[in-house]
Chains A and B, each alone.
Chain A
Amino acid sequence: MGRFGFVGRRLVQMVPVAIGITIIAFFLIHLIPGDPVVVILGSHYTTAGAAHLRAALGLDKPLWTQYLYFMGNLLHGNLGDSIYYEQPVLNVVLDRVEATLWLVVYAALLAALIAVPLAIYAALHRDGVVDQIIRGTFMVTLAMPSFWVGIIFILVLSVSLHLFPVTGFGDNLVDHLWHLFLPALTIALGFTAVLIRSLRNSILTVLRADYVDTARAKGLPWRLIMRRHVLRNALLSTVTIFGVNIAFLIGSTVIVENVFAVGGVGQLLVSAIQQRDYAVVQGITLLFALFVVAINLLVDVIYAVLDPRVSYD
Chain B
Amino acid sequence: MTGEPLLSVRDLRTFFVTDRGVLRAVDGVSFDLYAGETFGIVGESGSGKSVTCRSLIGLLPSPPAHTTGTVRFGGRNLVGLPMSEMQKVRGAQISMIFQDPMSSLNPVMSVGDQIAEAMEAHTSLNRAERRKAAIELMRSVGIPLAGRRAGAYPHEFSGGMRQRVLIAIALACRPKILLADEPTTALDVTIQDQILSLLLSLRDEFGMSIILVSHDLGVIAETCTRVAVMYGGQIVEMTDTETLLTHPRHPYTVGLLRSLPGTETGSRYLTPIPGAPPSLIDPPPGCRFYERCSLRTDQCRDWPAELLTVGQNHLARCLRHEHVEEIA
Direct contact, A vs B (beta carbon within 8 Å):
yes
Q: How far is the CB of B91 from chain A (nearest CB, A)?
A: 4
B5 at the interface (CB under 8 A from A): no
Chain A residues within 8 Å of B155, by CB: 308-309
Count of CB-CB pairs between chains A and B under 8 Å: 80
Chain A residues within 8 Å of B153, by CB: 308-309
Contact A217–B90 (Cβ < 8 Å)? yes
Chain B residues within 8 Å of A210, by CB: 98, 100, 103-104
Within 8 A of B (CB), among A175-221: 209-211, 213-221
Contact A219–B105 (Cβ < 8 Å)? no
Chain A residues within 8 Å of B57, by CB: 217
**Interface readout for B103-115 with A: 1 if CB under 8 Å, 0 if not?**
1111111000000
Chain A residues within 8 Å of B91, by CB: 217-220
Q: Known contacts A210-B104, A213-B104, A308-B155; decide if A219 and B121 are in contact (CB<8 Å).
A: yes
Q: Which of B104, B121, B122 contacts A214 (CB 8 A)?
A: B104
B59 at the interface (CB under 8 A from A): yes
Q: Known contacts A219-B121, A219-B122, A309-B153; decide if A211 and B104 are in contact (CB<8 Å).
A: yes
Q: Known contacts A214-B98, A214-B166, A309-B155; decide if A220 and B108 are in contact (CB<8 Å).
A: no
Contact A220–B121 (Cβ < 8 Å)? yes
Contact B108–A307 (Cβ < 8 Å)? yes
Q: Which of A219, A224, A309 contacts B90 (CB 8 A)?
A: A219
B169 at the interface (CB under 8 A from A): yes
Chain A residues within 8 Å of B107, by CB: 211, 233, 307-309
Q: How far is the CB of A60 from chain B (nearest CB, A)?
A: 59
Contact B89–A219 (Cβ < 8 Å)? yes
Contact A215–B106 (Cβ < 8 Å)? yes
A232 at the interface (CB under 8 A from B): yes
Which of B59, B87, B155 has its CB near the most chain A CB atoms (within 10 A)?
A: B87
A236 at the interface (CB under 8 A from B): yes
Question: Range of interface residues on chain A?
Answer: 20 to 34
Contact A211–B89 (Cβ < 8 Å)? no
Q: How far is the CB of B254 from chain A (nearest CB, A)?
A: 34
Chain A residues within 8 Å of B109, by CB: 228-229, 232
Contact A218–B103 (Cβ < 8 Å)? no
Q: How far is the CB of A17 from chain B (nearest CB, A)?
A: 29
Q: How far is the CB of B95 from chain A (nearest CB, A)?
A: 7
Contact A220–B117 (Cβ < 8 Å)? yes
CA gap between A29 and B90 in the complex, in Å: 69
Chain A residues within 8 Å of B120, by CB: 220, 224
Chain B residues within 8 Å of A306, by CB: 108
Q: How far is the CB of B94 from chain A (nearest CB, A)?
A: 9
Chain B residues within 8 Å of A219, by CB: 86-92, 121-122
Contact A236–B108 (Cβ < 8 Å)? yes
Q: How far is the CB of B146 from chain A (nearest CB, A)?
A: 19
B236 at the interface (CB under 8 A from A): no
Contact B106–A217 (Cβ < 8 Å)? no
CA gap between A229 and B100 in the complex, in Å: 17
Within 8 A of A (CB), among B152-168: 153, 155, 166
Within 8 A of A (CB), among B114-155: 117-118, 120-122, 153, 155
Chain A residues within 8 Å of B95, by CB: 217-218
Q: Which of A209, A216, A222 contacts B59 (CB 8 A)?
A: A216
**Interface readout for A5-37 with B: 1 if CB under 8 Å, 0 if not?**
000000000000000000000000000000000
Within 8 A of A (CB), among B40-76: 57, 59
Chain B residues within 8 Å of A233, by CB: 106-108
B33 at the interface (CB under 8 A from A): no
B287 at the interface (CB under 8 A from A): no
Contact B106–A218 (Cβ < 8 Å)? no
Write 29 A-B pairs (CB below 8 A) sorted by A numbering. Answer: A210-B98, A210-B100, A213-B98, A213-B104, A214-B98, A214-B104, A214-B169, A215-B117, A216-B90, A217-B57, A217-B91, A218-B90, A218-B95, A218-B117, A218-B118, A219-B89, A219-B121, A220-B91, A220-B117, A221-B121, A232-B106, A232-B108, A232-B109, A236-B108, A306-B108, A307-B107, A307-B108, A308-B153, A308-B155
Q: 9 nearest interchain CB pairs? A: A219-B91, A219-B90, A210-B103, A218-B91, A217-B96, A210-B104, A308-B153, A219-B87, A211-B106
Given contacts A233-B106, A233-B107, 13 further A-B contacts (CB under 8 A): A214-B105, A214-B106, A217-B91, A217-B96, A218-B90, A218-B118, A219-B90, A219-B91, A220-B91, A220-B117, A228-B117, A229-B109, A309-B108
Q: Which residues of A contact B (CB under 8 A)?
A: 209-211, 213-222, 224, 228-229, 232-233, 236, 306-309
